[in-house]
Structure 1
Amino acid sequence: MPQSAQPNTQQAALWNDASGKAWVEMQPILDGVLAPFESLVVDAGYPGEGGNVLDIGCGAGATTLAMARRVGNDGRCVGLDISQPLVTLAAERARVEEVANASFEVGDAQAYAFESGRFDAVVSRFGVMFFDDPVAAFTNIRQAARRDGKLAFVAWRSPVENGFLTTAARAAAPFLPPASVPDPDAPGQFAFADGAKVKRILEASGWSSIKVERVDVPCRIAEGDLMAYVTRLGPVGAALREVDQATAEKITAVLPAAFAPFVEGGEAGFNAACWLATARA
């Protein structure tokens, strides 16, 4: 796909408006759900004490802060995200938590003017599936890494393997207009569902020593937070912001029963079926 002068304009619009604001509001819940991935990504991408690390699609900064603590005061972790609301929150968290070696910048990793060879490692927790042109993006990201620098990220596998993540959309579907068949190559949550595709993207963008490994991570969310989670985020969250009140009430009424199979002992539990991709610049 030819790269436009301003790529990822749709994603920028989403994450600087409704989606970004929803993630800001839901930050404590999201960090709790995704906490198991912090150590996974930090361990895989850790460049050693004093290392300089870039976190792509850093969101509200949880992984950036975790890596900054891991590399120590002589190291640094820079979080980059397309969403100004999320970067603002992340920077405030670094200030409050006194993580002085974490910093945050607003930018699109596909087109950002990185300093060549600046980083010893590049990491991401579910932040790399949204590029219009992933080969162009990972080529640009590679320029930011020093020679033999690390790359480590997690991305979702297929919707079929992630039933929890698609339950809300299936439950809401009878009350919404028919959805078009998703384009597997379009930017989005499941854009990297095909592990072979992920490897091809990294090969085409010049990375080496590529590994794309299946990981299955148990995640949990308090039952009291579950409905907020499924009605504020994702495609159902977006739909509920657009539909009339009667339709919204019908959708929210069916969601508790749809998620009942996941709930036990005051918590909802699910398996996060992902890829852990690692490579070298």
Structure 2
Amino acid sequence: MSAIVNTDQAEHWSGKAGEVWVREQAMFDGLMAPVLDLLLDRAGLQAGARVVDVGCGTGAGMIAAAQVVREGGHVTGLDVSGPMLELAKERLQAAGVTNATCLLADAQVHTFGDMAADHLVSRFGVMFFADPVAAFANMRGALKPGGRMTFVCWAGMDGNPWFRIPAEAAKAVVGAPPPQDPRAPGPMAFSEADYVRDILGQAGFEGIGLTTEEITLTPIGDLEQNATFASREGPAGRIVKEMGGGREEFAAVAAKLREDFKAFETPDGALRIPGRVHVVSATAGG
């Protein structure tokens, strides 16, 4: 294991948060399948490519990328969560993937050495660094001259009811916690497009491109399952816990979400929830 400087994030994702992602792996992968498809489409990975997946989590992106680059290529996945990486390794083995490696590492300071990767990708894995400029400068060192980076990040709460509605429901039940720095490490840290461009420019990337895309999230399960899940995890769970709520408050939030999520219910009982993301690309200079 290499050095880790984002210790708060490492503790968070190796603790209860990581346990939730391991337990609910199918839920998260189903929810974000369209995002992974979008990422891989925009990245345009080629057979034989060497790829780095930052914030690889439980391995969905690694498996998909490894299948694209085939045996002549290789995928290296980095994450600070031990529990999530253990599941990723199990899934890679179960899928018969032999051209991928998992590393417990902090991409802000990991020594990439002579990796000279063709492409660095990330699905929601790069918004959690304490020093994003330093992190992206270090990640640029993983790429060969002219190598490309493509990542997807959330484009703010307003365009993402999967986050916004549970947060509003929780605040209605337990009150609002003190406001946070909108650029603090977390899912919505890269909401501002100009802020992202500035970070990448300071980190030495060239040819920076950013498009904002409308997507549809595809959570598995029915209305009841998703209302319960969203009441206990993500922004609602954080707010209820931060405000000292317990079982009654979680139940009250879930009840509100059962009503609010009806707007996204399909005739067959599934949920299809609109979302908004930034797709970001850049090149490592020669």
The separation in 2 between residues aligned to 1:254 and 1:150, in whole angstroms, is 44
Match of 2:229 in 1: 229
Q: Which one is further off, 141-150 or 43-52?
A: 43-52
Q: Which one is further off, 248-257 or 93-102?
A: 248-257
Q: Percent identity?
A: 34
Match of 1:140 in 2: 138
The separation in 1 between residues aligned to 2:65 and 2:258, in whole angstroms, is 36
What is the deviation of 1:25?
0.9
CA contact (8 A) 2:115 2:142 kept: yes
C-alpha change, 1:27 and 1:240, in structure 2 (3 Å) is farther
What is the RMSD of the two structures over their aligned residues, measured on CA atoms?
Answer: 1.7
What is the deviation of 1:39?
2.5
User: Please, what TM-score do these two structures have when normalized by structure 2?
Assistant: 0.91
The separation in 2 between residues aligned to 1:185 and 1:250, in whole angstroms, is 30
CA contact (8 A) 1:207 1:279 kept: yes
Secondary structure class of the residue paired with 1:249? helix
Pairing 1:163–2:190 present: no
Secondary structure class of the residue paired with 1:111? coil
Match of 2:32 in 1: 34
Secondary structure class of the residue paired with 1:267? coil
CA contact (8 A) 2:149 2:283 kept: yes
CA contact (8 A) 1:46 1:67 kept: no
- Listed as ranges, the gaps of 5+ residues in structure 1 are none
- Listed as ranges, the gaps of 5+ residues in structure 2 are none
Amino acid at match of 1:181: P
What is the deviation of 1:94?
0.3
User: Please, what TM-score do these two structures have when normalized by structure 1?
Assistant: 0.93
The separation in 2 between residues aligned to 1:179 and 1:240, in whole angstroms, is 9
The separation in 2 between residues aligned to 1:248 and 1:165, in whole angstroms, is 16
C-alpha change, 1:240 and 1:180, in structure 2 (3 Å) is closer
Match of 2:271 in 1: 268
What is the deviation of 1:42?
1.8
- Count of aligned positions: 277
The separation in 1 between residues aligned to 2:70 and 2:49, in whole angstroms, is 8
Q: Which one is further off, 56-65 or 112-121?
A: 112-121
CA contact (8 A) 1:29 1:229 kept: no
